[in-house]
Chains A and B, each alone.
Chain A
Amino acid sequence: MDDLDIKKKLEENCKDDKNLAKFLKELFSYELEGTRHNYKKDYDKMIEKYSNSGD
């Protein structure tokens, strides 16, 4: 199962929540990159971004 398959799976499980799907795909890409300096800070940024654009 490659990265695209997993992203697709994540998207499918988000059903119609496009914001959530984008958020999860971004998180997955971040983890895939494997260069994690300060995940708390990076996660904060991503959560901040997608929690504001979800409504």
Chain B
Amino acid sequence: MRIEKIKIENFRLYKNVEVNFPKSENDIHILIGDNGVGKTTLLNAIIWCLYGDEPQTYSNDVLLPRLNTSAGSDSDVVVELHVKTNDSRIVYKRTQIFKNGTSRGDAILETFVTTDGQTERASDPEWEVTKFVPGPISDFYFFDGERLDNYFKSSNIEHEIFILSHIDLLEDMEDRLKTKYKDYNTSATKFSTEIEELERELEKKEKDLEEKNEEKENFERQIQIAKTRINKLDEDLRGVPNIKMLESTRNSLKTSKDKYEKMISKKNTELNELLIKNAPQIFLYSLIDDIIKDIERKIKNNELPTPIDEKELEKSLKMNLCRICGRKLNNESVEFIKKSLEEYNISSEESKILTREMLPDLKVFQNNVKNYIMLKNNIKKDFKDFKMDLERINEEYAENEEKYKKYDDENIKLKYEERKELEDSLEQDNQDFGENKRAIKSLMKKIKNKKEELDKAMEGNKKTKIFNRKKNLCTDALNVISETKKSIMEDTRLMVEKDTNTNFFNLTWKKHTFSKISVNKDYSLELIHKKTGKNAIHSASAAEKELLVLSFTLGIHKISGFDSPLLIDTPLARVSGKHRENFSEIFLKVSNNKQIILILTPDEYSDDVKEVFADETIQKSIIGINLDETESEIKKV
């Protein structure tokens, strides 16, 4: 691959520049320019075109605007890189649009590929760039000459070697497999933790059930023993009354007897009190009854005067008016009323006493006596009932006493006591046994549920097995990747070391000072002195060191598989005297197989160097700047 042309419009100092790089016998191209005329800008224009950024710092430390200051404010910045491959031509074109001097959006890369006379715009322009020089390794192709000098100051290029060897891809695989492994592990652990937890719970419940079943057996045994013993006692005590019971019955009957005797006594007292209270009325009852009958007979036979309303009559006389018809009373009527009132006063006083005062009182007495009889009868009835109950209790008591006296034996009492205790204990055992059975039933239900949960989790466990299988695959793959990485790194290192040695000893002007170059695992370089057999890198000249790094860089080019051009800005600045000539000859040699573009200062382009590149077929160009330092141009010499 080689660069055929660079075309720049409005990029910083370059307003409109086109540089061609025609192929000649030696594919080397020299550009010469003073500091500040645009040497680094040229390098940056290429890098910006390909990768969209400008990593190289500018020597004057002033970052000029990307849009050329003398271009119109609505101009576009465009850099084109024309590249030739074995079978095609590729144009990389990056454009940044400006409006009123301000960038509108990101710079856009377009790639046009011409094959067999047919040009096509690439659908993935960045991908086309990676076919030329992938971004991560571009530092090995387009760089400032300082890199040659600074390699020993910052030699950590392992990452770049990783990219060159595709180890970065293996590392991506590793990272992703590790992530997947973690995911599977989390999922697998989740299921297995759940199973462990369920198994623990189930085990505990089964142990509880076992204990409850043991308890159950104990209860059954105890109940059976108690029942057997009760049966035996019942056999011994068959026909034998329970003395304790008899004692208890005796006490109970005695209590009842006392109670009834007290109640009878109380009824006697009540009867006496009732009799005393009602005695006068009882003795006079017959007389009162006769008087009532006599009064009622008189009333019935109208032997008593008709009761009149004397007050009304008196009012009529006073008002001289009849209170019934409302007519005025005449003398005759007045006389009649007066006479009636006199007669009434004489005859009705007796009648009044009999009917209004005596008769009601007598009837109260009569009723009291009737109530007394009823109360007396009630008391007598209760008395009779209590007496009967007391007689019955006395009979029972006597009967109980007879039995008690007959079986009053300590042994019998003890057996009854034992039986009672056994019955109490049996009752308690039966209660506990019932609780035990309920607990067993509950536990069995819980165990059943737990087993169902476990079955479900075991279904998950099948997934765990799948996850584990995936984990194992990841682990195996990670081991192989790790081994492969090591192996590739070692192979790469050996290849780089071999190529570096070949390049160095092919190019060096000192053929007998050094025996070999070692590329260490961290890609630090050692230049082994022939005589001492030790690393002589620190005593090597700047030119020797730069040659070493150049040899190494060319070795990297080879293992990278990208046979792309080498473009170096100020490659000889740190080399002086005779070594500049030597180094120039080296570039010339390298250019037999690879396109080399060197951007030199006039100081670097010394007479000795000029002589080396004197061949007319070697293209030389001058980078110049106008008087007001706003625009640079590149002209062929």
A interface residues with partner B (beta carbon < 8 Å) = 1-3, 6, 9-10, 13-14, 17, 20, 23-24, 27-28, 31-32, 34, 39-40, 43-44, 47-48, 50-52, 54
Contacts and interface: CB of A to CB of B under 8 A. Distances in A.
12 contacts: A3-B166, A9-B484, A9-B487, A24-B173, A24-B481, A39-B176, A43-B176, A47-B473, A48-B470, A51-B469, A52-B469, A54-B473
Interface residues of B, number: 31
Contacts of B179: 40
Q: Enumerate the 10 nearest inter-chain pairs by beta-carbon distance, A residue then B residue, closest first.
A: A31-B169, A13-B483, A13-B480, A51-B473, A51-B470, A51-B469, A9-B484, A13-B484, A47-B470, A10-B484
A40 B8 CA distance: 43
A27 to B, nearest CB: 5
Given A27-B173, A31-B169, A31-B173, 16 more contacts: A1-B166, A1-B491, A2-B561, A6-B166, A6-B488, A9-B487, A17-B476, A24-B173, A27-B177, A28-B169, A28-B170, A43-B176, A47-B180, A47-B473, A48-B470, A51-B466
B470 A6 contact: no
Contact of B480 (A3, A10, A54): A10
A6 to B, nearest CB: 5
A51 B476 CA distance: 11
A23 B487 contact: no
Interface in B127-173: 127, 165-166, 169-170, 172-173
B412 interface: no
Nearest to B171: A31
A10 B481 contact: yes
B180 A43 contact: yes
Given A10-B480, A23-B477, A54 B173 contact: no
Interface string B461-482: 0000010011011101100110
A20 B477 contact: yes
B170 A6 contact: yes
B173 A13 contact: no
B254 to A, nearest CB: 94
Contact of A20 (B169, B469, B473, B492): B473
B185 to A, nearest CB: 13
B443 interface: no
B478 to A, nearest CB: 10
Contacts of A23: 473, 477
B97 interface: no
B559 interface: yes
Given A1-B492, A13-B480, A40 B466 contact: no
A27 B477 contact: yes
A46 B232 CA distance: 82
Contacts of A31: 169, 172-173
Contacts of B165: 1, 6
A54 B477 CA distance: 12
B130 to A, nearest CB: 8
Given A31-B172, A47-B473, A54-B473, A6 B561 contact: no
A24 B177 CA distance: 11
Q: Which of B177, B183, B484 has the most CB of A within 10 A?
A: B484
A43 B169 contact: no
A9 B483 CA distance: 9
Contacts of A54: 469, 473
Interface in B572-631: none
Contacts of A40: 176, 179-180, 183
B474 A47 contact: yes
Contacts of B488: 1, 6, 9
Nearest to B474: A47
A31 B481 CA distance: 13
A18 B407 CA distance: 101
A54 B474 CA distance: 12
Nearest to B173: A27
Interface string B546-578: 000000000000010100000000000000000
A15 B169 CA distance: 21
A47 to B, nearest CB: 5
A55 B466 CA distance: 12
A30 B55 CA distance: 31
B169 A32 contact: yes
Nearest to B175: A39
Nearest to A39: B176
A3 to B, nearest CB: 7
A35 B487 CA distance: 27
Nearest to A19: B473
Contacts of A50: 473
Given A17-B476, A40-B180, A47-B473, A6 B173 contact: no
Contacts of A28: 169-170, 173
Contacts of B469: 51-52, 54
Contact of A24 (B183, B470, B480, B487): B480
Nearest to A14: B480
A50 B469 CA distance: 10
Nearest to A20: B476
Nearest to B180: A43
B558 to A, nearest CB: 11
Nearest to B495: A1
A22 to B, nearest CB: 11
